[in-house]
Amino acid sequence: MALDIEKVEMIIMEAEERLQKTTDVFRSDLSSIRAGRANPHVLDKIKVDYYGELSPINQVGNVSVQDGQCLVISPWDKSLLKTIEKAIQVSDIGINPTNDGNVIRLVFPTLTAERRKEIVKQVKKMSEDAKVAIRNIRRDCLDSLKKMNKAKEMTDDEYGAYEADVEKAVTKAIEAVEKITADKEKEVLTV
């Protein structure tokens, strides 16, 4: 009954990778939520048809913040102005673009207190979803380790030590999600 260290390390390493990926996706999803200030990341998920290829807006032109409330998109190819404008209009960012023939401007309206509270609720729901995903990763990892324990591939003491390692990684991931959530709430509620 020799413990297969490589197998255990693979299980734990895979869980840690999945935990990291979950927090990265959560951070990325939050960056696309607009918080009253002009944020180029709200355009990250919008793609435009660039010579038959769907490309992100930041790959077909420059995206810059003009004054904190306005994003300016300067496409490298002026023929893309209408395409970019249409892609933004059909997206769900809730901002109407203005096209002056050279650049596209997106003016971010200031958020009302009620809208800020709605966004905070949305952020908290996304946070809870990320925590559920993290707990599911923990469950999957611990199930794999339990199977090894039941198959007598490891002792109860070894299982307990690895379980503690998994719990530490999960706690760290949940703390990261909570910090990201708190930072985003602060950003949204700051007028």
- Decide if 8 contacts 148 (C-beta within 8 A): yes
Q: What is the CATH number of domain 40-107?
A: 3.30.1360.40
- The predicted pLDDT at position 36 comes to 66
Q: Does domain 5-32+112-189 bear CATH number 1.10.132.20?
A: yes
Query: Could you state, in order of their start, the residue ranges of all structural domains in the chain?
Result: 5-32+112-189, 40-107
- The predicted pLDDT at position 171 comes to 96
- The predicted pLDDT at position 115 comes to 83
- The predicted pLDDT at position 2 comes to 58
- Decide if 105 contacts 9 (C-beta within 8 A): no
pLDDT mean for each 10 residues of the chain (191 residues): 77 93 92 74 83 85 83 87 86 81 84 86 94 96 92 88 93 96 87 65
Say what the alpha-carbon torsion angle 155, 161, 165, 168 is, to the nearest 10 degrees. Answer: 140
- The predicted pLDDT at position 14 comes to 94
Q: Other C-beta atoms within 10 Å of 36: how many?
A: 20
